[in-house]
Amino acid sequence: MAATTQALAKTELYEAFAASGKALASGKRLELLDLLAQGERTVDGLAKAAGLNLTTASAHLQTLKQAGFVATRRDGVRIFYRLAGDDVAQLFALLRKVAERHQAAVPVARDAYLGDTDTAELRHNELQARIEIGDVVVLDVRPVEEYLAGHIPGAISIPVDELADRINELPEHTDTVVYCRGEYCVLAYDAVRLLTEHGRRAIRLNDGMLEWRLADLPVDACDRP
C-alpha cells in the first residue's frame, strides 16, 4: 500500500472514531444519554425531560443514532429510543468519571447542582442484607416512566415532586433507602433532604439505576405492552 494511501486510510479510521467522540460533544446529548440509560423513551418524552424543543431533540437523537449509540423501535405513531448497548452506558459513565477526575470545573458544577451531598450512603452489597432483614424500604424517586422501564426489585415508586404529598405511604419507623438515576442525579439528594426534614430516616443508595445496571444487578420492569 502506498504511503499516502495509508495515511489517508489512517485519517479516515480516526475520523470514524471521532464521529463517536462528536456524539459525546454536546451537553444536551449527554443529558439524553443519561435519560436513555434509565430505559427506552419516546422523542417527545425525552424532549420534555431534557427541556428541549421537539425538533432539536430529534436532531440530537439522529446524531446519536448516526454514531450507533442508540437504537429505535416504532410502536404505532410513537418511536422509542433506547441505548444500543451496555457498552454505551459504560462509555458514558467513564466519560463522566474521567471528566470529574481531570477537569476542575466538574466538581464545582456538581456541587452547585447537587447541593449538600454530605448525606448517609449505602452501598448495593449492604442493601441486599438489609432488604432480607426487612430493615429498610427501597424508594425510587425518578419519574414514574423510568420506574416502569426498570427498577430495583422490591422498590416502591414515589417521584420526588409528589413525595411531600405522599410521604405517609412510607412506613414511619423504617429507614428509607432512596435512589434515582445515577451518580450525578439530584433527585435522591433532594428526596433525602425532604424526608429528613419530615423527621424520617433516609439514606441515599450509593448507586443509581445507571450504576446498578452496569453492575449487572437484577432489574424489574413493568412496561412493554
Partner DNA sequence: ACGATACTCCACAGATTATTGGAGGATCGC
Partner DNA sequence: GCGATCCTCCAATAATCTGTGGAGTATCGT
The H or E element spanning position 197 is helix 187-197
Q: How far, CA to CA in Å, does 52 sit from each of 30, 43, 46, 161?
A: 13, 10, 8, 20
Residues that bind DNA (CB under 7 A): 22, 25-26, 28-29, 42-45, 52-56, 58-63, 72, 74, 76-80
The region of 41-49, 95-103, 144-152, 217-225 touching a copy of itself under the rule CB under 8 A is 95-103
Options 141, 180, 202, 209, the catalytic residue: 180
Question: 99 CB contacts (<8 Å, ≥6 apart)?
Answer: 106
Binds a copy of itself (CB under 8 A): choice among 53, 102, 118, 134: 102
> In 170-214, where do the E strands start and end?
175-179, 202-205
Residue 58 or 196: which CB sits closer to DNA?
58
Residue 38 or 63: which CB sits closer to DNA?
63
- Where do runs of H (alpha helix) occur along 24-85? 27-36, 43-50, 54-66
Measured in Å, how far apart are the chain's first and last C-alpha atoms? Answer: 54
Closest C-alpha to 64, from 45, 79, 83: 83
94 binds a copy of itself (CB under 8 A): yes
Binds a copy of itself (CB under 8 A): choice among 55, 56, 62, 90: 90
**To 5 degrees, how large is the angle CA 65–CA 221–CA 49?**
50
Instruction: Find which of DNA, a copy of itself, none residue 121 binds, CB within 5 to 8 Å per kind.
Output: none
Which one-letter DSSP state was computed for residue 51? T
Instruction: Find which of DNA, a copy of itself, none residue 76 binds, CB within 5 to 8 Å per kind.
Output: DNA
154 binds a copy of itself (CB under 8 A): no
The region of 72-80, 110-118, 127-135, 148-156 touching a copy of itself under the rule CB under 8 A is 110-118
HSE (CB half, 13 Å, CA atoms) of 83?
A: 23
Residues 44-83 close enough to bind a copy of itself by CB under 8 A: 51, 67-69
Residue 200: Cβ-neighbour burial (10 angstroms; 0-12, 13-18, 19+): middle
Q: How many residues bind a copy of itself (CB under 8 A)?
A: 56
Instruction: Find which of DNA, a copy of itself, none residue 60 binds, CB within 5 to 8 Å per kind.
Output: DNA
185 is catalytic: no
Where along the sequence are the contacts to a copy of itself (CB under 8 A)?
Answer: 1, 6-7, 9-31, 34, 51, 67-69, 84-85, 87-88, 90-91, 94-99, 101-106, 109-110, 112-113, 115, 184, 186
